[in-house]
Amino acid sequence: METSDLTARRATLEDIPALKGLWLNAGLPWDQLESFIGEFIVIPGADQQLLAAIGLMIEFNDALLHSEALAMETEADNLRASLWQRIQIMTRNQGIHRIWTQEDADYWRTCGFIATSVHEKPAESPSFLQSSDGWSLFKLLDTDRAKAFAEKQMGIWQASRSEENAALQRKIRNFRTIAFLIFSVALLLSSIFLWAVIKTNILGRLLR
């Protein structure tokens, strides 16, 4: 079975009977999970059966990947690959920064999930992150790198603004200098013209 032949989608109410079967086979508490059907991503099979299902609970910028159930262990990684493709689309579209899970299949580690101690959890942690062991984390957005990038961009913007302000100040000073020179020349020429007029009038009176 190729991954391209599998299409994951959100679960609907019509999927409840098939989901119960998957959850029972996986030893999951189906009676509790049924209330959260809107969280589940499923891969439909033939005859209204489901090949796989996994829960994706979203809380602000974090998400919890939970309750994996597969119909065919022989195709486990192909099924997970299709689920993972859909999960990435959904989480990126919703601006999720981190995906947490306690699913321990090797496939999730190959996807980039890294074992994480809850003692290293971020200051703003989701409520589902309990103090038990076995957590893995996948970062869609590294908040530290994003903050550093934003600060770098702000520094570049401030430097550019400072340069623009300095250039504007230079233009203003140059304009004032040119305006002063023009005014000085005009004043000098006016003084010369006025002096010439006065001198001409004085000479005219003397020659009468």
Residue where a domain terminates, one of 141, 170, 198: 141
pLDDT at residue 204, as a whole number:
63
CA 53 to CA 8: how far, in whole Å? 9
pLDDT at residue 58, as a whole number:
95
Residue 124's nearest CA partner among 46, 79, 62, 70 is 62
Statement to judge: residues 9 and 107 lie in one domain: yes
Statement to judge: residues 132 and 100 lie in one domain: yes
pLDDT at residue 207, as a whole number:
59
Statement to judge: residues 167 and 196 lie in one domain: yes
Residue 26's nearest CA partner among 70, 84, 73 is 70
Statement to judge: residues 123 and 173 lie in one domain: no
CA 21 to CA 9: how far, in whole Å? 18
Statement to judge: residues 136 and 171 lie in one domain: no
In the chain, % of residues over pLDDT 70? 83
pLDDT at residue 200, as a whole number:
76
pLDDT at residue 146, as a whole number:
44
Look at residue 98 and give its three-state secondary structure: strand
Residue where a domain terminates, one of 85, 115, 141: 141
CATH of the domain at 79: 3.40.630.30
Statement to judge: residues 83 and 28 lie in one domain: yes
Q: Which residue carries 């306690």 as its tokens? A: 102
> Residue 91: which domain range?
3-141
Number of domains within the chain: 2
Q: In what order do the strands lie in the sheet with 136-139?
A: 9-10, 40-44, 50-59, 62-70, 98-101, 136-139, 114-115
Beta strands in 37-158 (DSSP E): 40-44, 50-59, 62-70, 98-101, 114-115, 136-139
pLDDT at residue 149, as a whole number:
41
pLDDT at residue 197, as a whole number:
72
Q: How far is CA 185 from the centre of its chain?
A: 60
Q: Which residue carries 């003084």 as its tokens? A: 191
Residue where a domain terminates, one of 99, 122, 141: 141
pLDDT at residue 150, as a whole number:
45
Statement to judge: residues 89 and 7 lie in one domain: yes
Lookup: tokens for 200: 């001409």
pLDDT at residue 157, as a whole number:
62
Tell how many helices (H) and how many strands (E) occur in the chain: 5, 7
Q: Which ranges of the chain have pLDDT less than 70?
A: 1-5, 119-120, 142-160, 202-208
DSSP 103: -
